[in-house]
Amino acid sequence: MTKSKIMLATGLLFILTVLSLITTLNSASAIIINSVDSDILRPGQQGTLSVYVKNDFDYDVEDVSLSLDLSNTPFSTIGSTEDSVDEITEGDKEQFIFTLTVNTNAKPGDYNIPYALTYKNATSQKKGTFGVKIRANADLDYSASLDNPVIGEKSKLSLKIVNKGIGEAKFVTVKIVPEGYTLLSEDSIYIGSINSDDFETASFDIIVTNSAPTLIAVVNYNDLDNRLYTSNVALPLTVYSKDKAYELGIKTKSKIGLYIGIIILIIIIFIVIRSIRKRMRKNKSLKNVNGK
């Protein structure tokens, strides 16, 4: 190979190396999504979404535009799905603000929002997604009942827990502290999950010991983000003495004794009638004999 050819090959290799280096540096520099902040987003409510775009180039970038694609998400915007700034200086970042409305039937959880980012002299749009979270709290309501509200008798105490909120209550446990009754079963029950617009019941076997018992319970549960919540429940229980329960018809006296008495009376009457008939037949037989 001649000296001129060697120099030409060396020059071409140098040029290719420089171009490769420039390409690598350019690919490492870009307009990027730096961070995303949002209000707490809840179903049926509005919230502000702030997207921070950073200029990683070593020069200023003009006419930067960010647009959101909400077509397959539970979100819509108040106003435009696109926001823009005139310029982002070298190494700086700018805030793009959107007002989102969350659909009323949206389920709590994590969602990805597709975006397209463009700027002046860009060869193509930069596309990607970023994540946002829809949150919803459980709203638990409590009621208590006794299947046999009579003092001194065994009864089943039930705590009904209704979830009126949008969010799910997970890992629900109920622990009661006896107040005015004796507990015959375990004092703690694990329920599990209570979905939105649903209910579960925790039941305990007890004997009521006074006229003013109270259901005192501690209910623990987690939300979808595994944050722990504790509810202290105190519900008065209405109970009656046996006499009052009979009077109100809550408790009815047993009629077994009455039924047994009637049966015995019928048997006695049957025996008496049978005895009378037997005596009458005997007397009739004697008359017939004497008549002969």
* 67 plus 130 within the same structural domain: yes
pLDDT at 29: 57
Residue 219 within a domain? yes
Kindly report each contact of residues 11-14 with a partner whose C-beta sits within 8 Å and lies 24 or more positions away, as own/partner. none
Residue 22 within a domain? no
* 40 plus 105 within the same structural domain: yes
* 39 plus 100 within the same structural domain: yes
* 129 plus 150 within the same structural domain: no
pLDDT at 291: 56
The model carries a pTM of 0.64
Distance separating alpha carbons of residues 256 and 247, to the nearest angstrom: 19
Token pair for residue 101? 């409305």
* 33 plus 78 within the same structural domain: yes
Among 81, 113, 134, the domain boundary falls at 134
* 152 plus 197 within the same structural domain: yes
Domain that residue 186 falls in? 140-248
* 159 plus 117 within the same structural domain: no
| 138 to 174, 175, 226: CA distances (angstroms) | 16, 19, 12
* 243 plus 145 within the same structural domain: yes
Among 134, 169, 186, the domain boundary falls at 134
* 129 plus 210 within the same structural domain: no
pLDDT at 181: 95
pLDDT at 18: 43
pLDDT at 202: 96
Question: Cα torsion at 174, 177, 180, 183 (round to 10°)?
Answer: 70
Distance separating alpha carbons of residues 161 and 198, to the nearest angstrom: 9
- β 75-77/31-38 pair status: unpaired
Residue 128 within a domain? yes
pLDDT in tens, the chain (292 residues): 565 555 555 555 555 454 444 444 344 458 899 999 998 899 999 999 999 999 999 999 999 999 999 999 999 999 899 999 999 999 999 999 999 999 988 888 899 999 999 999 888 889 999 999 999 889 999 999 999 999 999 999 999 999 999 889 999 999 999 999 999 999 999 999 999 899 999 999 999 999 899 999 999 999 988 899 999 999 999 999 887 877 777 766 655 665 677 788 788 887 878 778 777 776 666 666 655 5
Contact between 88 and 31 under an 8 Å Cβ cutoff? The reply is yes
* 175 plus 129 within the same structural domain: no
Among 109, 134, 159, the domain boundary falls at 134
Token pair for residue 82? 């696109």
pLDDT at 232: 96
Distance separating alpha carbons of residues 133 and 75, to the nearest angstrom: 11
CATH number at residue 237: 2.60.40.10
At 102, the amino acid letter reads V
Residue 80 within a domain? yes
Contacts of 200 (CB under 8 A, 6+ apart): 160, 161, 172, 191, 192, 194
pLDDT at 25: 39
Residue 232 within a domain? yes
Residue 240 within a domain? yes
Residue 231 within a domain? yes
Contact between 51 and 36 under an 8 Å Cβ cutoff? The reply is yes
Overall number of domains in the chain:
2
* 122 plus 207 within the same structural domain: no
pLDDT at 24: 40
At 191, the amino acid letter reads I
* 126 plus 34 within the same structural domain: yes
Distance separating alpha carbons of residues 66 and 90, to the nearest angstrom: 18
Residue 69 within a domain? yes
Q: Which residue has the tokens 């049966």?
A: 263
Specify burial of residue 25 (Cβ count, 10 A radius: 0-12, 13-18, 19+).
exposed
